[in-house]
Structure 1
Amino acid sequence: MLYWLMKYVLLGPLMRAACRPRIEGLEHIPGTGGAILASNHVAVADSFFLPLMVPRRVTFLAKREYFTGRGLKGRFKKYFFSGVGQVPIDRSSALAAQAALDTGVRLLSEGRLLGIYPEGTRSPDGRLYKGKTGVARMALEAGVPVIPVAMFGTEEVNPIGSRMWRPRPVRIVVGEPLDFSRYEGLAGDRFVERSITDEIMYALMELTGREYVDVYAAKVKDELAASGGDGGDWRDRPAA
């Protein structure tokens, strides 16, 4: 209930008035049945604007830390993310990662629309980074299409480190579904899963127009944290 209240009554109208979001390619999202929305990830706001603009309910696999915080802020986060139907996952170990994949497959098998960020974390500088193969495993095991989604403008609405959102235009482009039925029965083959993931990331690169970096974003974030720097903006960097 909170999901629909936030979308149409409490938060959605404010987001529409301030940021004038628009979406292209909605016809590529099926009206029923399981499917994966695989998006680039440049801001926390991505997880708000995509469900706002897609008529069907979108479920995200949210990191467990959103549900385990302490104090008033921690309780608010737990209430909010639980109330809007997001599913907590543990990413601390290989066993936990498998449990997260199993949860994703279950949701897809129930006919849910699952939002996933293949990069595994928010981009530190707006560029597109190497995808993790979990998205491929879920697509193969559940037998569902993967729909690439490009987010534009959310990093200006919600810059890294900002506490307040800014009124900036947001645009979302939904690409044509990617069908991987030709790999049926090959879930668990790491070469197949890497091939599928790379195909998804290539589709996202074409859709977003962002520079692609064949390195995991989490590694870049760790290096930036160790050096005390920030990601800056990919447009300020020389071409790879």
Structure 2
Amino acid sequence: MECFRTKARDSIMGTKIKNFIMTLYFLIGAVIYIFIYGAIVLVVGFIIRLFSKKAAKRFVINQVVIFGRMAFKLLGIKVYKFGDIPPVDENFLVVANHQSALDIPMILGFCAPVAFIAKKELGKLPGINWYLKYLGSVLIDRGNIRQTAVALKEVVKKMKSGTHFVIFPEGTRSRDGKMLPFKPRSLELAFRNGIKVLPVSIWGNHKILKKKSLVVHRTPAGIKIHDLVDPKEFQNEEEFRLYVENVIKNGVKEIERRLDNEESKG
């Protein structure tokens, strides 16, 4: 019995050490990639911009996509992708459930290089603010109602001109992966302006990087891209929102089942 307990303690200790090493690796890698490699990318982008603005933006955006995928690859995390973005020329709003800080690189790398409606504080962080600017993100001062209204008008303007944005209608990250109800009127921006929504379901990121924790756990994750949803097919924002919420919720359950099957095969 004592031998069994000793082995169990050693196993737990081994897991903690492995998680600590992975976390340290993740943090150091994030700093190197965002601040050092990110700076190099933007310098190269600036040089290309001297000859072609479109080519420069295309180059930087492509690097953002690579960053999103590498965030998982370098951690040795397998990401299962289900579905693809429909081949359409019109703009859309990506709507996803929220499980972890890793949701952002996952969407950037496996869905689309989208812009963010972010807190103004992020605009003060070197490295991160560079990418926010290139992606066309809009910064909001949540305590300033007037500034927020102006910022949302800018979001609509950018969306109509071709910029894709992403929002997380739950309003916060889920601790256990289960979806929280969407905030009332969270899709009003899309509904009022007739902008189609691209529902995206995410599962597994809450296990890799838990809320309010920097400890990284190596476990698979998945993302499912659904069909576009047209707000013009619904009577009001609530009906539209509940439909999108249900699509994403069912997608989360599907990914969970499919990942369980994949892991059982392995």
Matches of 2:118 and 2:241, distance apart in 1? 20
1:147-186 matches, within 5 Å, as 147-183=198-234
Q: C-alpha separation between the residues in 1 aligned to 2:118 and 2:199?
A: 19
Q: Greater Rg, structure 1 or structure 2?
A: 2
Report the equivalent of 1:78.
Answer: 129
Asked if the contact 2:174/2:206 (under 8 Å) is kept, the reply is no
Q: Secondary structure at the match of 2:122?
A: helix
Equivalent pair of 1:33/1:113 in contact (CA under 8 Å): no
Alignment CA distance shift 1:11-1:19 (3 Å): same
Report the counterpart of residue 121 of structure 2 in structure 1. 65
Q: In structure 1, give the amino acid aligned to 2:163.
A: R
- What's the % identity of the aligned pairs? 21
Letter in structure 2 aligned against 1:67:
G
TM-score by length of 2: 0.63
Does the aligned pair in 1 maintain the 2:117–2:167 contact within 8 Å?
yes
How many residues are aligned here? 195
Check if 1:199 corresponds to 2:250: no
The corresponding residue for 2:79 is: 21
CA distance 1:84–1:167, change in 2 (3 Å)? farther
Q: Which amino acid aligns with 2:195?
A: V
Change (3 A) 1:162 1:80: farther
Q: Is the 8 A contact 1:101 1:134 kept in 2?
A: no
Aligned to 2:170: 119
Instruction: Tell me if the contact between 1:22 and 1:53 (Cα under 8 Å) persists in the aligned partners.
Output: no
Is 1:108 the counterpart of 2:159? The answer is yes
Check the 8 A contact 1:105/1:141 in 2, yes or no. Answer: no
Q: Where does residue 50 of structure 1 map in the other structure? A: 107
**Alpha-carbon separation, structure 2, partners of 1:14 and 1:180:** 33
In structure 1, the residue matched to 2:47 is none
TM-score by length of 1: 0.69
Query: Are the counterparts in 2 of residues 104 and 138 from structure 1 also a CA contact under 8 Å?
Result: no
Distance 2:165 2:130 in 1: 20
Does residue 7 (structure 1) correspond to residue 65 (structure 2)? The answer is yes
Kept in 1, the 8 Å contact 2:115–2:164? The answer is yes
Residue 135 of structure 1: how far off its partner (Å): 4.2
Shift of 1:14: 4.9
More helix per residue: 2
Q: Give structure 2 stretches of 5+ with no counterpart.
A: 1-58, 255-266
Which one of the candidate residues 29, 34, 59 is aligned to 2:91?
Answer: 34
Higher relative contact order (CA 8 A, sep 6+): 1
